[in-house]
Amino acid sequence: MSHYDVFNGDADGLCALQQLRLAEPIDTILVTGVKRDIALLERVEAVKGDLVTALDISFDKNRGAVERLLGQGVRIRYFDHHFAGEIPAHPSLDVHIETLPDKGTSLLVDDYLHGSQRAWAVVGTFGDNFDASARRAAEPLDLTEGELGLLRDLGIYLNYNGYGETVDDLLFAPDVLFRSLQPYADPLTFIVEDPTFPALRDGYADDMARARAVAPAFESERHRLFVLPAEPWARRASGVFANELAQQAPDRAHAMLTRLPAGGFLVSVRAPLARPDGADVLCRGFASGGGRKAAAGINLLPEAEYDTFLERFRAAFG
């Protein structure tokens, strides 16, 4: 029997898996990719009796692969917080899905494990831009403000590393990054001891300095839209820059459009933190869009649809 761990390559997916494998330390086959690469179950060639654990990838986007695997006698355990659509009842499907606007997959796994790996749940929740939820989850840990700040930094850096058009854009491939995290029960120890942390920190600082120098392409009292160039640093920075702007202006919606080398845009949308709803509906209105209520994206927005996107973005958060 083989075990497959299929996980989003961002902070929430990484930290959800880290919690599970600290609590259930077994060797598994890792299947992952960049943050936007979520149709991951299509890559799994499991057979009858195998177990697949899916973390932080939309059930709706993987529905066909789920049905195929179940039909082959594969057992599936599914943790996620994105739009799921109708979930079938099946004796080999164990589902832990909630779509609350302030609760990510790391907190769903934390519930499942009764808080036994809480510090990593806090890291993943900070990485998903749920600062208030992360601070609430951290209360039993009795951390200093400095320690809490380090966990927040780590979450942001892990999330930053997930953004890119391909794995070649990233500082670390997500499976390699998970193997770096895996030995550490305490994320604070990882921060102090592992050379991966300063590499992420320095890459983040350099990329974000470039992003912060970009002026908005559109701005109103309730909206800000930025267009970033077709450069690897821009693809890496786009999502965390959108998160940073959302924290700075919680009453505004933000859109980050990063030009792609072959044309069109990679889009990140953040609903106002004061009203974290509507990002998923907006992005699902475009062919390659999806996400959750507070934060969503479009993998490819054609140049010809820029004006349509801007019009719908303004209307969605008007």
Q: How confident is the model at residue 242 (pLDDT cuts 50, 70, 90)?
A: very high
Report if residue 207 sits inside a domain.
Answer: no
| Rounded CA separation 239/206 (Å) | 15
pLDDT at position 165 is 86
Report if residue 20 sits inside a domain.
Answer: yes
pLDDT at position 295 is 93
The predicted model gives 186-199 an average pLDDT of: 98
Range of the domain at 9: 3-202
Report if residue 240 sits inside a domain.
Answer: yes
Looking up tokens 């998903």 gives 128
The predicted model gives 225-238 an average pLDDT of: 95
Tell whether the model's pLDDT for residue 311 goes beyond 90.
Answer: yes
pLDDT at position 294 is 92
Answer yes or no: do 187 and 307 share one domain: no
Q: What is the pLDDT of residues 120-176, one digit of tens each?
A: 999 999 999 999 999 999 999 999 999 999 999 999 999 999 998 899 999 999 999
Answer yes or no: do 25 and 135 share one domain: yes
The predicted model gives 248-268 an average pLDDT of: 96
Answer yes or no: do 81 and 177 share one domain: yes
Answer yes or no: do 15 and 153 share one domain: yes
pLDDT at position 123 is 98
pLDDT at position 179 is 98
CATH number at residue 282: 3.10.310.30
3-state SS of the chain is CCEEEEECCCHHHHHHHHHHHHHCCCCCEEECCCCCCCCHHHHCCCCCCCEEEEECCCCHHHHHHHHHHHHCCCEEEEEECCCCCCCCCCCCEEEEECCCCCCCHHHHHHHHCCCCCHHHHHHHHHHCCCHHHHHHHHHHHCCCHHHHHHHHHHHHHHHHHCCCCCHHHCCCCHHHHHHHHCCCCCHHHHHHHCCHHHHHHHHHHHHHHHHHCCCCCEECCCEEEEEECCCHHHHHHHHHHHHHHHHHCCCCEEEEEEECCCCCEEEEEECCCCCCCCHHHHHHCCCCEEECCCEEEEEEECHHHHHHHHHHHHHHCC
pLDDT at position 101 is 86
Domain C-terminal end among 202, 222, 246: 202
Tell whether the model's pLDDT for residue 74 goes beyond 90.
Answer: yes
- For the record, the structure tokens of 76 come out as 């599936």
Domain C-terminal end among 202, 236, 258: 202
Report if residue 208 sits inside a domain.
Answer: no
Q: What is the pLDDT of residues 37-67, one digit of tens each?
A: 999 999 999 999 999 999 999 999 999 999 9
Mean pLDDT across the chain: 96
Q: How confident is the model at residue 267 (pLDDT cuts 50, 70, 90)?
A: very high
Answer yes or no: do 90 and 154 share one domain: yes
This prediction has a pTM of 0.89
Report if residue 177 sits inside a domain.
Answer: yes
Answer yes or no: do 170 and 220 share one domain: no
Answer yes or no: do 191 and 226 share one domain: no
Q: What is the pLDDT of residues 93-122, one digit of tens each?
A: 999 999 998 999 999 999 999 999 999 999
Residue 96, Cβ density class (10 Å: 0-12 exposed, 13-18 middle, ≥19 buried): middle
Answer yes or no: do 229 and 188 share one domain: no
Answer yes or no: do 193 and 268 share one domain: no
CATH number at residue 15: 3.90.1640
What's the Cα-to-Cα distance from 135 to each of 66, 97, 116, 126, 173, rounded to whole Å? 34, 22, 17, 8, 28
Q: Which of 51-60, 104-113, 221-230, 286-295 has the lowest mean pLDDT?
A: 286-295
In this structure, are residues 204 and 157 in contact, taking their beta carbons and an 8 Å threshold? Answer: yes
Q: For the chain, what is the domain count? A: 2
Per-residue b or e along 182-202, where b marks 16 or more CB atoms closer than 10 Å to that residue's CB:
eebeebeebbeeeebbeebbe
